[in-house]
Amino acid sequence: MTPPLWQGRFRKGLDSQVNAYNASISFDARLYRQDILGSLAHAAMLASQGIISGKDEADIRRGLGEILSALDNGQLLPDPEAEDIHMFIEAELTRRVGDAGRRLHTGRSRNDQVALDLRLYLRDACLEIRSGYLALYQVLIAVARQHLHTVMPGYTHLQRAQPVTLAHHLMAYVEMISRDISRLDDCARRMDVLPLGAGALAGTTYPLDRERVAEMLGFSEISLNSMDAVSDRDFAIELAAALSIFMVHASRLCEEIILWSSQEFAFVDLDDAYSTGSSIMPQKKNPDVAELTRGKSGRVFGDLMTLLTVMKGLPLAYNKDMQEDKEAIFDAVDTVRLVLPALTGLIETMTVDEERMAEAAAGGFTNATDLADYLVVKGLPFRLAHEVSGKLVRHCIDRGLALQDLELAELQRFSPLIEQDVYEAISLEACINRRSLPGGPAPETVLAALDQAAARY
């Protein structure tokens, strides 16, 4: 086992089991690119400030470039016996360029180095996930455009409530994903702060040019408190929270797709490429993509809880507990990366049974509220109109009919205010079209919302 770079203070080496317990290279190895980019910027700044020589900086740049290339193409693999990826890269650099490698860490601690690497990694992850959000957002808009006039029942308590359109229903998720994009953007903005230069907790006596490093690495500002810079992971917690909210939205959408694809609903048929079968029942077509998405939401929620729990009782500044941040946030990021293309493809390829949706809307008394509204327009107080409509629904249930199936004379037994125009008033299309206020399901209103959403990003 290679002695750690901090061995000088100790009389004996680390126990092998403690080394395995203490090490993080098995999961932080993915930070190698960010670690090297941060080191290149740090070395360039040290040279410009006269803290290291130009030759040392050139040797460091050459050595780190070789290491990056070798790690990228698989010629070099992280040493599983190393404590972490940061120590591995520094040791490998020193092996290649000698004392110049030993000078790289001047004015830097692993604490601010790790905080930098994680911010760089998660900043990149935010961009990638945002792209996935946007693809899902655009697919939802595209499918909604195809179904501006596809009538379906809207539900409360999973009971048929009022008629809407599939476009209106899907646009609810468009708005949710839009807020997810906005949350991710906010998270990335608050993450855009350079911690390097904070040292272990109290900065450094070297004349570092932190603003120059921030500019080289693309950060918009530098941290203003060295203890805060190395001892908080709220940027990772915030990202996990944002991803958790997205997974709530994804899970709800998938729950509906699971219901809709069942024979009991039969609203949609999922593409074979996004379904699986049964090992024993030949007839089965299972919505596994939707079910897995629903299930994976729990992983991301758990990752958020892990991060919150790790951080909740830590005194300032850095504590080793914080090593536990990476596996949780990496898992949250990886899970959402996995979910997004599968869910987007599932929605893009599903087939909608428009007739079945309309049939369901027609059969559930979804126009009962409009009958009450009709009576209000005729002069009846709403509470009395509500009672009349409810009695008519009960009457229809007893006879196995829909409201629109009743003869006019039969309707008038419940209220003399009802006239021939009632049939137009309670038609499903009229029920939807009259709801044309902003945010409503009328096709022209939904189309305007679609156009606005499409222009948003």
Q: What is the 3-state secondary structure (H, E, C) of 98-133?
A: CHHHHHCCCCCCHHHHHHHHHHHHHHHHHHHHHHHH
**In the listed set 293, 321, 351, which residue is the last one of a domain according to the structure?**
351
Report the CATH number that the domain containing residue 87 is assigned in CATH. 1.10.275.10
Same domain, 277 and 132: yes
Whether residue 338 lies inside any domain: the answer is yes
Q: Do the Cβ atoms of 288 and 172 come closer than 8 Å? A: no
In the chain, the number of structural domains is 3
Residue 98, domain extent: 18-106
3: in domain:
no
Q: Are residues 331 and 385 in the same domain?
A: no
Burial group, residue 148, by CB count within 10 angstroms (0-12, 13-18, 19+): middle
Nearest residue to 101 (alpha-carbon basis) of 69, 72, 66, 77? 66
How far apart are alpha carbons 217 and 174 in whole angstroms? Answer: 34
pLDDT in tens, 402-430: 999 999 999 999 999 999 999 999 999 99
Residue 194: strand pairing partners? 222
Residues 299 and 173 in one domain: yes
Domain end residue (candidates: 286, 320, 351) = 351
Compute the distance between CA of residue 154 and CA of residue 151 in angstroms, rounded to an integer: 9
Same domain flag for 209 and 309: yes
> SS3 of 161, please?
strand
Choose among 167, 172, 161: nearest CA to 431. 161
Asked if the structure places residue 7 within a domain, the reply is no
∠42-130-352 over CA atoms, to 5°? 165
Looking at the fold, whether 301 and 377 belong to one and the same domain comes out as: no
> Are 102 and 119 part of one and the same domain?
no
Task: Tell me, yes or no, whether 200 and 331 share the same domain.
Answer: yes
Tokens in use for 175? 């708005």
Per-residue model confidence (pLDDT) at position 8: 72
Residue 9, domain member (yes or no): no
CATH number for the domain spanning 402: value is: 1.10.40.30
Which of 333, 351, 369 corresponds to the end of one domain?
A: 351
Tell whether 93 and 124 lie within a shared domain.
Answer: no
Q: Give whole-number Cα distances, 380 to 368, 372, 427, in Å.
A: 15, 9, 20
Give the C-alpha separation, 272 to 249, whole Å. Answer: 24
Task: Give the torsion through C-alpha atoms of 23, 26, 27, 31, to 10 deg.
Answer: 90
The pLDDT of residue 1? 53
What is the length of the chain?
457
Q: Are 344 and 227 in contact (CB under 8 A)?
A: no
pLDDT of residue 223: 98
Same domain, 100 and 142: no
What pLDDT shows up at residue 3? 64
pTM, two decimals, is 0.93
pLDDT at 24: 92
- Indicate which CATH number applies to the domain containing 323: 1.20.200.10
**Residues labelled catalytic:** 157, 278
Does residue 4 fall inside a structural domain? no
* Domain-embedded: residue 316: yes
Q: Determine the Cα angle at 91 with ends 75 and 322, to 5°.
A: 100
Rounded Cα–Cα distance for residues 31 and 25 (Å):
9
Residue 156 lies inside a defined structural domain of this protein: no
Residue 299, domain member (yes or no): yes
Pair 231, 259 in one domain: yes
Which residue has 């000698």 as its token pair? 98
Q: Are residues 191 and 59 in the same domain?
A: no
Same domain assignment for residues 82 and 136: no
Q: Which residues of the chain have pLDDT under 70?
A: 1-6, 19
